[in-house]
Amino acid sequence: MDFRHEWKHELTVSDMVAIRQRLRAIARPDAHTADGKYAVRSLYFDTLTDKALREKLDGVSVREKFRIRLYNGDPSFIRLEKKSKRGGLGSKAGVRLRADEARAIVDGDYRWMRGSDRPLVTELFQKMTCQGLRPRTIVDYTREPFAFAPGNVRVTLDYDIRTGLRCVDFLNPSCVTVPVPGAPVILEVKWDEFLPSVIRAAVQLEGRHTAAFSKYAVCRTYG
């Protein structure tokens, strides 16, 4: 599993506008966007004792969390993902799910996962069985992604973050979501071996420092 460097900054809307303009001048938008952005919906898992949430809030340096994700409300492309953290480094493993498989998980039917030929599905099944992992909350937001080839850099601006009101019906477009407190804007920067100085300068803001912001944690405000 390859780990990448990660930065996160919480921004104001005016900060976002300034950084967006800089990035448009030096980086290219992600090829999968429409008008430079797309909608993300994630369904996060946690244990009955909120292991993932507590480890995040307590600053545990080595941790992981599972989620199911789709884009622009399109159920034809759904991914199961596992995010792992080691200090300031992060990695992500993922595998495709069919819509009926994602629906089965939401409905509490995990039998089909046993003996899957996809290792990540098998791992999630084992942790649902042994650790009690269950779907906990939906996280919605809008993302503007940029790519810069040297350093394999990816920069994203995430905003309009919303959370499900105890709703885990991941594929239901009518599931009620509400804005999280403070309407935060999150800048994320990820890179491999080095961060080019032109990108470092573009995302630099006076008085802003990296922060351990978690969309999942802030969305758990509502349960």
Question: What pLDDT digit, counting tens, does each position of 25-44 carry?
Answer: 999 988 778 788 999 999 99
Report pLDDT digits (tens) over 110-134.
999 998 999 999 999 999 999 999 9
Least confident of 64-68, 83-87, 102-106: 83-87
What is the average pLDDT across 80-104? 94
Give 111's DSSP letter: G
pTM over 0.95: no
Per-residue confidence (pLDDT) for residue 88, from 0 to 100: 81
Q: Going by C-beta distance under 8 Å and a sequence separation of 6 or more, which residues neighbour residue 126?
A: none
**Residue keyed to tokens 């990816």:** 154
The Cα 147–Cα 162 span in angstroms is 25
What phi and psi, each to the nearest 5 degrees, are found at residue 148?
Answer: -140, 115
For residue 58 the two structure tokens come to: 């307590």
Asked if pLDDT for residue 2 goes beyond 90, the answer is no
* DSSP string for 10-28: EE-HHHHHHHHHHHHHHSE
Asked if pLDDT for residue 172 goes beyond 80, the answer is yes
Residue 93's DSSP bridge partners are 82
The Cα 137–Cα 135 span in angstroms is 6
175: number of Cβ within 10 Å? 15
**Residue keyed to tokens 């810069």:** 148
Residue type, 190: K
Give 34's DSSP letter: B
Local confidence band at 209 (pLDDT 50, 70, 90 cut-offs): low
Local confidence band at 173 (pLDDT 50, 70, 90 cut-offs): confident
